[in-house]
Structure 1
């Protein structure tokens, strides 16, 4: 990925998470190497290690990100009037989170 070194750290971390998740889903966690993730991003393995300590750290970050999104969904739902419309909206938002 050209110009990857010029992005903010949070942008780079988000890109690493996105690419890692794609590779984990396509070929499995064990079969995915940090080298593959770095190559797909066009960065060095050292640059990847600057942002994450390893694959486990990337996975932990993915779970943390998804849990935070779920917390936001629950907080939002608590502020909405109850009823079928809320259920439908909550389900739509949940689907968006998972896709």
Structure 2
């Protein structure tokens, strides 16, 4: 599910997107479980309330998954680690910031 606009439930639809490009401080996580938190509804209604928010995100800022790859400056996790995360922004296979 991807948020394509601001508004009600109609602002979210199923769709795919390309794998994100990682920077040196980013971590790529294959998401296994995703949960909605108290910010997801106001984020959907708009305008974006989380710093750096931009369309199109995947609703569900809290998630659990397995680290697939890391940037060159990342040393706190390694591929294969399983983590529960609250990310600044999320998109399918996810680029997160520490």
> Could you say whether these structures have the same fold, taking a TM-score greater than 0.5 normalized by the shorter chain as the test?
no
**TM-score, normalization: structure 2?**
0.22
Higher relative CO (Cα under 8 Å, sequence separation at least 6) belongs to 2
Higher strand share: 2
When the two structures are superposed, what TM-score results if normalisation uses the length of structure 1?
Answer: 0.22
Q: Which has the larger radius of gyration?
A: 1
